[in-house]
Amino acid sequence: MIRCCWILLVVLLSAGCAAKRASPDPAFVAERKAVAYLASEVPAWSRENQCFSCHNNGDAARALYIASRKGHRISAAALADTTAWLSSPEQWKNNKGDPGFSDARLANLQFAAALLVAIDTGQIKDKHALSNAAALVRADQASDGSWPVEPTNAVGSPATYGTALATYTAWQILRDLRAAALVRAREKTETWLSRLKPDNVPAASVLLQFSHSESALDLLRRAQTADGGWGPYIDAPPEPFDTALALLALRKHHDAPGVSAIIARGRNYLAAQQLLDGSWPATTRPPRGESYAQRVSTTAWAALALLETRTR
């Protein structure tokens, strides 16, 4: 009788362990829901508005290209119009839309960033398109080497970036191009980024992605909140966008002491904040605002963070 009870206990414990191993990772479940949400929203914008947007066809499309590379099945229809649009930077100036809500400088950056990823993932074959897009981006560079997008907003936002994130995005676009004018622009950008002070979470995240900065890494360690997320500043309430930026920066330093655990907590925070439809609440400045553009871009950044920090 004792032997039978012991065998039954072992079987039950083994079954419990197997069930635990089979339990889906909440962050991966969130990733799949986010991809489904974005795959619906990306083509809907151009179809319904007869124009292309920074948030849907820039940020969100970039997340879908990465998702495709990570093994998600994305229907051809979800990205077809966006891919055609991104392939022709010379046409971007003809984009329709409300001029009062358009920033050509920001649009060039976000479309060029999506184009870069589309080329990297093999969705677009013409690499000359990136040189054309980079020329548009370079034309908007300030004399100090930066891209001063929303210069009065030190921490930026998901859809409007802010100067630090905009400048880092431009550097990514210019990084591997060899035309003399683009090389000079990149060198000025690198000088500006090397002088960036990590005095908030977005700036620290940008600096940590650009180079190994102990001060930036230290700020991100100290700024993580009790529930695993990050806000724009140390001790600020967490937001999905700031959390995504921090995770994208930390992934390059996952071997540093304690960083893998920090990343795991951040992923769990994002999974817990996701809405039922697969999106995330918009990170707005000031917080708790309502904005479709910010909501889609917030979701794109959160999805990118989950995709890029997944370990399997």
The domain ranges of the chain are 26-309
User: What pLDDT, on the 0 to 100 scale, is given for residue 18?
Assistant: 42
Is 279 strand, coil or helix?
coil
pTM comes to 0.91
User: What pLDDT, on the 0 to 100 scale, is given for residue 103?
Assistant: 85
pLDDT above 90 covers a percentage of the chain that reads 88
- Give strand pairing partners of 230: 239
CA angle centred on 114, ends 240 and 157, rounded to 5°? 30
- Give strand pairing partners of 239: 230
pLDDT above 70 covers a percentage of the chain that reads 91
Helices 292-309 and 26-49 pack at an angle, to 10 degrees, of 140
For residue 304, give the nearest of 134, 4, 61 by alpha carbon.
61
| Residue 312 neighbours by CB distance under 10 Å | 4
Q: Give the Cα separation of 207 and 71 in Å (integer).
A: 29
In this structure, of 2-11, 229-238, 285-294, the range with the lowest mean pLDDT score is: 2-11
* Domain 26-309, CATH class in plain words: mainly alpha
For residue 161, give the nearest of 300, 8, 18 by alpha carbon.
300
What sign does the dihedral 86-293-282-232 (CA atoms) show? positive
Q: Taking residues 209-225, what's their average pLDDT?
A: 96
- Mention every residue, 6+ apart, whose C-beta is less than 8 A from residue 204: 198, 213, 215, 216, 217, 219, 220, 223, 246, 249
Query: For residues 157-166, b (16+ Cβ closer than 10 Å) or e, as one string?
Result: bbbbbbbbbb
Rg, Å, the chain Cα set = 21
Tokens found for residue 173: 């676009």
pLDDT reading at 2 higher than 80: no
pLDDT reading at 81 higher than 90: yes
Tokens found for residue 50: 């007869």
User: What pLDDT, on the 0 to 100 scale, is given for residue 311?
Assistant: 86
pLDDT, tens only, 12-63:
344 444 444 556 899 999 999 999 999 999 999 999 999 999 999 999 999 9
pLDDT reading at 269 higher than 80: yes
